[in-house]
Amino acid sequence: MSSFNTIGLIGRLASANTQYSINRLVNFLSKRKVKLLLDEETSTVLPGEGYPVASRVELAKKCDLIIVVGGDGSLLSAARAFAGHPVNILGINRGRLGFLTDISPDEIETKVSEVLDGKYQTEERFLLNSEVMRDGEALSEGLALNDVVIHPGKFIRMIEFELYINNEFVYRQRSDGLIISSPTGSTAYALSGGGPIMHPNLDAIALVPLYPHTLSSRPIVVAGSSVIRLIVSEQNNLNPLVTCDGQSQTMTQPGDEVIITKSEKALTLIHPEGHNFYETCRTKLGWASDTGNT
């Protein structure tokens, strides 16, 4: 008897390895006799199999477990679709690093079976909400599990902006941009930018400058309840982009405001029993595994 009634399946289609894992997973789930729904795009790699197909909107309403086969990018996309819904997300890694998709391909049957038998850990992650304002009206809105980034796009030029936290002026900065990261995103782009690693359970947001035009500018960690506001300087001669998780973007213009807050929508991740954040860091980041015993 499965702990979950209806399972949705999402996979990244560009990879032959991912398609192999999807087929392997579907065959396994069929033997477990669970109710399975395939994402519309994912169903194209299983033609003629006869499995029910649903949009992501339908999956959010009908499923209590979503299994994502792919890399962290695939899970980030799923996160924005299912955040705020009573559905759990389980990741099978077919990408490179795999901080969020933590089941390896050769463990599919073993680990997924354990999850279906109720042997798993849950973890709630918060998302960031980004809103671009122009002349007092909302131009666009986006969600990000990892980060919201303001940057110059394809141009190799510095941009200028003012930063306010809870309506208090912090600084005017010229740099290649700014990463506003959740704890989940602290091991992603923000880490490459020199930001701190934050435990996923922290209620905090990190602001990481990208190549600032001053040696004294450093990452700042603020409370998760903070309202972060960026004003795009009138001095810019280009149109900076605001990107959510590297997958959706909005072009700004001088005078626009970008407001980032903690979203009311949360995401529930599932990990196999024994999952440990620090062990993941050791494995993925190549930290020394010596326990210090002599």
Catalytic residues: 72
Dist. CA 216–CA 282, nearest whole Å: 30
Q: Please state, in angstroms and rounded to a whole number, the distance separating the CA atoms of residues 93 and 237.
A: 42
Instruction: For the chain, give percent helix, strand, coil, nearest 5.
Output: 25, 40, 40
User: Measured at the alpha carbon of residue 261, what is the angle toward residues 257 and 262, in degrees to the nearest 5?
Assistant: 165
Dig out the tokens for 176 from the structure: 């290649």
- CB within 8 A of 48, min separation 6: which ones? none
Instruction: With H, G, I as helix, E, B as strand and everything else as coil, classify residue 149.
Output: strand
